[in-house]
Amino acid sequence: MAVDDMVKDITNRLGEETDLSDWLEVDQAMINAFAGATQDHQWIHVDVDRAAKESPFGQTVAHGFLTLSLIPGLSGNVDATAPPYHGLKLSVNYGLNRVRFPNPVVAGSKVRCRSKLVGVEKISDECFQVVKGVTIEIDGQEKPACAAETVSRYYF
């Protein structure tokens, strides 16, 4: 299918939900690994005893950027065995239009990703760009952990 046809097809589906992931537990080991990778060892994330005593959340919480970084895997964007579009050679994270973290993810919480098509734009005869509205939900919580617009480019 040509890029023009794919862009037309996506345009007709704007507003449609595209992904709803399974639940994923964000445990202390994941939080600690992220702290190590990013050098962000703020006590609210990694000091279990202090967080239990001093944090308004009563325990450690995941980094906002950890929550954000889960989007590609949870939304299926990095599964090379199941590309989102036929003939796809390469997909890249082009950026974010906006990001908010309205609710913390406490250690041991389960999260999932829900996304919908927000926009599409042809970049060239070999590339188009898709904007998705993404929400990271927390099991049992009304307010989401993260709301963002992701921008991805797809090359054919």
Domain count, the chain: 1
pLDDT of residue 78: 64
The model's pLDDT over 101-151, given as tens digits with 9 standing for 90+, comes to 999 999 999 999 999 999 999 999 999 999 999 999 999 999 999 999 999
pLDDT of residue 85: 82
Residue 104 domain boundaries: 3-155
pLDDT of residue 44: 98
DSSP class per residue in 72-137: HHHTTTT-TTS-SSTT--EEEEEEEEEEE--S--BTTEEEEEEEEEEEEEEEETTEEEEEEEEEEE
Domain of residue 89, CATH code: 3.10.129.10
The model's pLDDT over 60-98, given as tens digits with 9 standing for 90+, comes to 999 999 999 999 999 876 676 777 888 888 899 999 999
